[in-house]
Amino acid sequence: MLKLISKINQPLRYFQQVKFYNFPNLIREKYNTRISTREFRDEISTHEDKGINWLTKLWNSCSDKMVHGQNAKPYLRSRVYRIPVKDDQVPWDSGECSYSPKDYTAKTVYGKTWADHEDPCIYTFNQEDDDGINRLSFNGVYSLDSTGRPLNPFGRTGLRGRGVLGKWGPNHAADAIVSRYVIGENGRQILQFVAIVRNDTEDLAIPGGMIDPGEDAREAAIREFHEEALSNNVLDEKLSSIWKNGKTVYQGYVDDPRNTDNSWMETSCFNFHDTTENLLKDLNLKAGSDAKFAKWITVENGLKLYASHTYLVKLFAKMHDIHID
């Protein structure tokens, strides 16, 4: 069972194979932004190693308010609320006939060059289109509804439309975890990474952003790091060896408050680590226009970051043989 839990970040088809829908749906809710709170999901991660008995006990004691906490909040920068979705009604094949959420796409999306047209039928999904836009999902082939809209592979979210996202279906982003070791007061090595504070939510976050059409995910992560954490003031030559040695941390669907029934976030997260312990020593961090400020963060228990970034940092930490709660 612990092996199953350790694979909880795998695509939805994994849950179907092991019939996880029949196990406490609480575990699956860890990756449903629209149903559970970030704190609740972090609590699950913190106790994963305590096994099946703890999870069953928690399932029996949790309340509807706890599971549906996110539904009590309006969608980002709006007064639009998601409708409540019970945990057993999240899968599209659950047969929920009365499901009728609001259809919402922010006014800031319409007419933008980076956004899709209002009519999804003009696009070919589940492939890279002629404009270089990647409409493939890391979770495999996704379905379309009767109107031609893509369906979120992780089920119902309580809100239709695109919200603040530009693309129908997957919206691909790239995140860069730039890290180093420093010597602490006790003489031990401390793992640190660069984080920013987002302008939109004021949450601590990993530098990253949307991948441009035709752009390589790794190159996008590097570009976004320069824009958000360096304000483009550092020459590439100084960091070239770090960019060459980047390692993939995660690629797939991410738990994000922007997700809707028809548009969702997927990311490619990379770790660029300074193995020399010298290249990043005097790095001058300077936040770009999308961030309030940038700073070094120590990897330690209790970190709280934007959306799924806490989980991404935990994965990155494990790559360096550090396990955090």
Instruction: Say yes or no to pLDDT of 155 above 70.
Output: yes
The answer on pLDDT for 15 being more than 60 is no
Q: Please check whether residue 264 is in contact with residue 253, taking contact to mean a CB–CB distance below 8 angstroms.
A: yes
Closest CA to 222 of 190, 234, 213, 191: 234
pLDDT at 161: 98
How far apart CA 151 and CA 142 sit, in angstroms, is 6
* pLDDT one-digit tens code per residue, 225-239: 999 998 775 555 778
Spatial distance between the Cα atoms of 172 and 176, rounded to a whole number of angstroms: 14
Write out pLDDT tens, residues 169-211. 999 999 999 999 999 888 899 999 999 999 888 899 999 999 9
Supply the pLDDT for residue 28: 41
Q: CA 59, CA 62: separation in Å to the nearest integer?
A: 6
Instruction: Taking residues 250-259, report their average pLDDT.
Output: 94
pLDDT tens, residue by residue, 115-148: 999 999 999 999 999 999 999 999 999 999 999 9
Q: Which percentage of the chain shows pLDDT scores above 90?
A: 59
pLDDT at 65 over 90: no
Rounded CA-CA distance 106/108 in Å is 5
Q: DSSP secondary-structure letter at 276?
A: T
Query: Between 3.90.79.10, 3.40.50.2300, 3.40.50.980, 3.30.465.10, what CATH number should domain 172-319 receive?
Result: 3.90.79.10
Q: Where are the domains of the chain?
A: 2-72, 172-319
**Which pLDDT belongs to residue 95?**
79
Q: Cα 8–128–198 angle (5° rounding)? A: 55
For residue 225, the model assigns a pLDDT of 93
* Residue 36 pLDDT: 39
